[in-house]
Structure 1
Amino acid sequence: MSAAATLTAPWRGLSRAVWILVVARAVNRIGAFTLPFLGVVLTVEFGASLGETGLILAVFGVATIPSRLLGGQLADRLGRRRTIVLGLTGCAVAQLWIALSSTLWSAVLAAILLGLAFEIYEPPSQATIADVTDPSDRPAAYGLLGAAMAAAGVLAGLLAAAVSHWDLRWLFVADALSCLACAVLVALALPADVRREHVPATAVAVWRDRRLVLLLISGTVFATIYMQLVIGVPLTLLEQGLPESGTGFILAVSAITLILAQRLLRVRRLDDFRSIAVGYILLGAGLVVCAFAQTLTVFLLAAVLWSVGDLFLLTRYLTQASGLAPDHARGRYLAVFGLSWGIATAIAPLTVTQLLETAGPEGLWLSSAAVAVVLAALQPWFRRRLAPAAP
């Protein structure tokens, strides 16, 4: 078997629509490393204090919550393809606005608009993958999306490291262009939306599904830890007196690790709950290393550990959420579960800035590691609670 065949073996037989969507999202990801730098731009370019930066990023996070719900509603009613294109176009407009802003208030308004558009394309993207794959193939399909995003992230991280020496605003221009390129590819290549004449009104039933609500709570805790890494690592580097460009290298190493580990680790042989438990243990180990890191080399080691943990976590949470959903409400189920990221994006800036000010990097990352270990220990309990109800 050739090297290429060996590498792609886990993803053989996946639908053409999955591959088209994966390529489109990878194009988008190449320029989409702006969020980790948004706090730095607000601080360095616009003179915001650490507290103001945390508040602005929290408002951005709050704005992503209705964005995600809107994406789920539109995905089930307007169609997957149309919703993806709409969300990407909105993100491009907001990114260009940030890049062209000359005052802090203009940047704040643009950040709010970005939050309102930021999550629209996620539910239809995730629902499209679930629509065209069998349940047993969904971990591989979501894994393919993650691997492609990571591969694009290698280029994106290097781009971020290079551009950060010049002007951080160019990152937002690059992201806007990649959003538009992704929108064009989706509009031209993804299969046309299927008209749904009668869509059951299940919005209330979605929230009555106690398993989904429990999964949302668990996912929110994980997403908060994840977003603390996204937002907190660049600020931690500043606290340690390390160069801003180090964030780009850390992100690139994280992406490379995710690609390599996906093939080396036989993730599909673990069920969802064991996979999640292993992921939290590895994530916690990376956070402990991050707590005591004072050089870029040690931060890179931490990134390897938490990235292998992410391999076990990200795809399994999506597989669980899509498995709970009926076909006609899949977009809304995934949107509700995806609220975990909006809530986390609102919480993480506040926890990061407050803990950095009061407890320093050690307090921030050790407390996060403790939460990860607790979640690993709770997976047998989650297994019982999320089991399908007896007929």
Structure 2
Amino acid sequence: MSAAATLAGPWRGLSRAVWILVVARAVNRIGAFTLPFLGVVLVVEFGASLGEAGLILAVFGAATVPSRLLGGQLADRLGRRRTIVLGLTSCAVAQAWIALSSTLWSVVLATVLLGLAFEIYEPPSQATIADVTEPADRPAAYGLLGAAMAAAGVLAGLLAAAVSHWDLRWLFVADAITCLACAVLVAVALPADVRRDGGQTPPVAVWRDRRLLLLLAGGTVFATIYMQVIIGLPLTLLEQGLPESGTGFILAVSAASLILAQRFLRVQSLDDFRSIAIGYGLLAAGLVVTAFAQNMTVFLLATVLWSVGELFLLTRYLTQASGLAPGHGRGRYLAVFGLSWGIATTVAPLTVTQLLQYAGPEGLWLSSAAAAVTLAVLQPWFRRRLAPAGP
């Protein structure tokens, strides 16, 4: 067996379209480190209070909800490739606007536009992977996407740490450039969309699928915890008097931990529910350590724990959601499931800023850890409820 085949491991035999999409998203990921810094930019560059920053980020999160639904509709009707290109290009415009803003009102409008564009490309990206893989191969395919995003995240974190020493607005310039590069790669290399006759798609009763709605509920809690980490860590470092560049190093360590964990842990051998339970346990441990961290060394130790937990969690939710969907409605199913991220991005800025203000870092991270432990304990119940109906 060749060295390349050995390195590929469980990813051998995946479709060319999967690899193209993974490479494109990795290019985008190299510059996609702006969201953790957006709250800091609002406070440091534009003079917003902590409460105002939380409200603006919540508005951004609310705007991602229609963005995700629009992405799902366009993915099934307009086509996967066209929708991905549209979403990425729109994100680039919004990022550039933020970088060029000179007033708080301007950056608020740009942030709303970014929210409206932010999730458009996610449903078609996830649906494309499901379209070209068999159900048994989807954990590996989504795992490949996660590994590539993590590898790019190492560069993203280091780049963020370097650029943040100059002017935080350059982070948004870099993200706009990588969004455009990703859009070009998708437009040139991904197979052309196949339109249905008359552009019509069969109706799908997405909101009547109780299993999907239950999965959406569990995924929303997970996404909220995840977004609290993304938004809350930079603000926690600020509260502890640690440098802004520390966020970049945390992102790099998180990505490196994901890569190493993918290489050495046999995550694919676990079923979805057992993997999710383990993931929540590791996530909770990392959040407890974060609650009492006061220096970068301890923060980085916590990062390793919650990052490995993320490996056990994220791809499993995508695998479950795509498995519930009929082929012609996969974009819409994944869009509805993806609302968990829009809800989380709306709620997390408010919970983070309020808990930091009134309960401190300990209150924020210990309450998040408690939610993670609760979800770990509930996984046998989820297994029974999400089981397919008998004949």
TM-score normalised by L of structure 2? 0.99
The code of the aligned residue for 2:366 comes to L
Which residue of structure 1 aligns with residue 34 of structure 2?
Answer: 34
CA distance in 2, matches of 1:258, 1:2: 24
Which residue of structure 1 aligns with residue 147 of structure 2?
Answer: 147
> Is the contact made by 2:46 and 2:103 (CA closer than 8 Å) also made in structure 1?
yes
The code of the aligned residue for 2:73 comes to Q
CA distance in 1, matches of 2:28, 2:264: 26
The code of the aligned residue for 1:290 comes to T
CA apart distance, 1:5: 3.3
Which residue of structure 1 aligns with residue 326 of structure 2?
Answer: 326
Q: Do residues 170 (structure 1) and 161 (structure 2) align? A: no
The code of the aligned residue for 2:292 comes to F
Deviations 1:76-105 (A, max 9, x none): 000000000000000000000000000000
CA distance in 2, matches of 1:57, 1:8: 39
The code of the aligned residue for 1:99 comes to A
Which residue of structure 2 aligns with residue 297 of structure 1?
Answer: 297
Which residue of structure 1 aligns with residue 255 of structure 2?
Answer: 255
> Is the contact made by 1:276 and 1:312 (CA closer than 8 Å) also made in structure 2?
yes
CA apart distance, 1:4: 4.2
Which residue of structure 2 aligns with residue 388 of structure 1?
Answer: 388
CA distance in 1, matches of 2:89, 2:164: 25
Deviations 1:20-75 (A, max 9, x none): 00000000010110000000000000000000000000000000000000000000
The code of the aligned residue for 2:44 comes to V
CA distance in 2, matches of 1:194, 1:58: 37
> Is the contact made by 1:286 and 1:306 (CA closer than 8 Å) also made in structure 2?
yes
CA apart distance, 1:6: 2.8
CA distance in 1, matches of 2:264, 2:140: 14
CA apart distance, 1:3: 5.1
Count of residues in correspondence between the two structures: 389
Q: Do residues 161 (structure 1) and 161 (structure 2) align? A: yes
Which residue of structure 1 aligns with residue 201 of structure 2?
Answer: 199
Within-5 A mapping of 1:297-376:
297-376=297-376
Which residue of structure 2 aligns with residue 280 of structure 1?
Answer: 280
Supply the RMSD in Å over aligned alpha carbons. 0.7
Deviations 1:354-389 (A, max 9, x none): 000111000100010011001000000000000001
Which residue of structure 1 aligns with residue 242 of structure 2?
Answer: 242
CA distance in 1, matches of 2:166, 2:6: 40
> Is the contact made by 1:83 and 1:121 (CA closer than 8 Å) also made in structure 2?
yes
The code of the aligned residue for 1:250 comes to I
Match of 2:102, SS? Answer: coil
Match of 1:167, SS? Answer: coil
The code of the aligned residue for 1:314 comes to L
CA distance in 2, matches of 1:112, 1:389: 41
> Is the contact made by 2:257 and 2:308 (CA closer than 8 Å) also made in structure 1?
yes
Deviations 1:290-334 (A, max 9, x none): 000000010000000000000000000000000000000000000
Within-5 A mapping of 1:20-169:
20-169=20-169
> Structure 1 residues 50 and 253 mapped into 2: Cα distance closer, same or farther (>3 Å)?
same
Match of 2:48, SS? Answer: coil
CA distance in 1, matches of 2:357, 2:7: 45
Which residue of structure 2 aligns with residue 16 of structure 1?
Answer: 16
Which residue of structure 1 aligns with residue 188 of structure 2?
Answer: 188
CA distance in 1, matches of 2:158, 2:112: 27
CA distance in 1, matches of 2:230, 2:201: 37
CA apart distance, 1:390: 1.3
Which residue of structure 2 aligns with residue 269 of structure 1?
Answer: 269
The code of the aligned residue for 1:161 comes to A
The code of the aligned residue for 1:82 comes to R
Match of 2:32, SS? Answer: coil
> Is the contact made by 1:154 and 1:251 (CA closer than 8 Å) also made in structure 2?
yes
The code of the aligned residue for 1:7 comes to L
Deviations 1:325-354 (A, max 9, x none): 000000000000000000000000000000
Gaps of 5+ in 1: none
Gaps of 5+ in 2: none
CA distance in 1, matches of 2:250, 2:156: 11
CA distance in 2, matches of 1:7, 1:356: 43
The code of the aligned residue for 1:234 comes to P
CA distance in 2, matches of 1:356, 1:208: 38
CA distance in 2, matches of 1:224, 1:335: 17
> Is the contact made by 2:5 and 2:12 (CA closer than 8 Å) also made in structure 1?
no
CA apart distance, 1:7: 2.6
> Is the contact made by 1:7 and 1:263 (CA closer than 8 Å) also made in structure 2?
no
TM-score normalised by L of structure 1? 0.99
CA distance in 2, matches of 1:93, 1:120: 14
> Is the contact made by 1:283 and 1:310 (CA closer than 8 Å) also made in structure 2?
yes
The code of the aligned residue for 1:200 comes to P
CA distance in 2, matches of 1:234, 1:275: 28
CA apart distance, 1:8: 1.4
